[in-house]
Amino acid sequence: MLSASHLTKEYQSGDHRLVVLRDVSFSIDQGDFVSIVGPSGSGKTTLLGLLAGLDTPTSGTVQLDGTDLTALDEDGRALLRGEKVGFVFQSFQLIPTLTAIENVQVPLELRGEGNVAERSRDVLQRVGLGDRLDHFPTQLSGGEQQRVAIARAFANRPRILFADEPTGNLDSDTGTRIVELLESLNRESGSTVVLVTHDLSLARRSRRILRLSDGALIADERTSGTPAMAGVARG
């Protein structure tokens, strides 16, 4: 589903080069639930950006569902994202001027799909926000905002979902419920989930953990933990 091959990312900072990722290679199967962990500054977010096609590597390639992302231009990657990729961010990244349901509609409308209102309502009901459709982001709690973001990410049935510290701005109870929601959607829809976190207890809920340190992949381990709870959580 997703494979990274010899990924390196460097930044030029004044006179010296800063290597953020060095020679990272791995692959992820369809339907897997993978965590990327590591301390601050280890290159987690950079890796996520490269895997999702938000940025281009200095060297190496990323294959997403059979397409070489590094061979596409920015708009080509955008179209691929619209078709196959979902995102969940630490700071939710909802569009403040749109209501919950309108936020969920955006990716569908960008693809020119029909029936968008109905489909968006369904997804929001699935994440337990059927009664909050017309609320603006500022009228929702942090957990609710993140559930809208998850609903938006799943609205166009992505092949892969990237979550960047999705619980970072939430208290631990709410955070746990958000991860449970991700797990259940992963199971039900068969989407691959890539979770970036520095919280090991959350990471252990995934099936596989990739450990980064100082820009290098230092461990790739299978966990025993399959998602413990099914069903929809409350935020």
Partner 1 sequence: MADRSRFAGLMGIAWRESRTARRRLLLYMSSISLGVAALVAIDSFTANVTQSVSEQSRALLGGDVSLRSRAAFSATTTRLLDSLATSGVGVSRVTQFASMGTVPSSGNTRLVQVRAVTANYPFYGEITTEPAGAWSRLHGAAHAIVDPAVLISLDAELGDTLMLGTARFVMIATIRSVPGDLGVSAAIGPRIFIPDDRLEETGLLIFGSRAEYDALLRMPPGLSAAQFAGRFNQRFATDTPRVRLETVAENEYDLNESIDQLGNFLGIVGLVALLLGGIGVASGVHAFVMRKIDTVAVLRCLGATSRQVLLIYVLQAAAMGFVGALVGAAFGVAFQFGLPWLLQDFLPVDVRVALAPGAIALGLGVGVWVALIFSLRPLLALRRISPLQTLRRESDATVMRGARRDSAVMVVSFAIVASVLAIAMERAGTFERALWYSAAIGGAIGALWGTAVLLSLGARRVARPSWPFVVRQGVANLYRPGNQTRAVILALGFGVFLMSTMYQVQHNLLSQLDLKLEQSRSNLVFFDVQEDQEPVVDSMIRAAGHTVVQTAPIIPMRIDAINGQSVPSILAEQDSIARAFRASGQRRTTRFRSNWALRREFRSTYRADQSAGERRIAGQWFSPNDTSAQISVEEDVASDLRIGIGDTVTWNVQGVRIPAVVTSLREVTWARFEPNFFVVFNPGAIERAPKQFAILAHVPTSAEMATLQRDVVRNYPGISSLDLSLIQNTISNVLDKVTSAIRFMALVSLAFGIPVLFSAVAATRRERLREGVLLKTLGATRRQVGRIMLSEYALLGALGSLAGVVLSVGAAWLLMKFVFEAAFTPAIVPVLIVGVAMTLIAIIIGLATGREVFQQTPMAALRDA
Q: Which residues bind partner 1 (CB under 8 A)?
A: 45, 48-49, 52, 54-55, 74-75, 78-83, 85, 87, 89, 93-98, 102, 105-114, 116, 152, 164
Between 26 and 89, whose beta carbon lies closer to partner 1? 89
| Cβ-based nearer residue to partner 1, 167 or 180 | 167
Q: How far apart are CA 168 and CA 199, in angstroms?
A: 9
Residues constituting the chain: 235
Q: Are 163 and 192 in contact (CB under 8 A)?
A: no
Q: How far apart are CA 172 and CA 170, in angstroms?
A: 6
| Rounded Cα gap, residues 100 and 132, in angstroms | 7
Report, in Å, the least distance between residue 114 CB and partner 1.
7
For residue 130, give the DSSP letter: T
Burial classification of residue 219, based on how many CB atoms lie within 10 Å of its CB (0-12 exposed, 13-18 middle, 19 or more buried): exposed
Least Cβ distance, residue 143 to partner 1 (angstroms) = 17
Say how many C-beta atoms besides its own lie within 10 A of residue 4's C-beta. Answer: 23
Nearest distance from residue 90's CB to partner 1, in Å? Answer: 8
**DSSP conformation class of 70:** G
Minimum distance, C-beta of residue 105 to partner 1, in the bound complex (Å): 8
The distance of closest approach from Cβ of residue 99 to partner 1 in the complex, given in angstroms and rounded to an integer, is 8
Q: Among residues 152 and 211, whose Cβ is nearest to partner 1?
A: 152
C-beta closer to partner 1: residue 197 or 233: 197
Cβ proximity to partner 1, 35 vs 105, nearer residue: 105
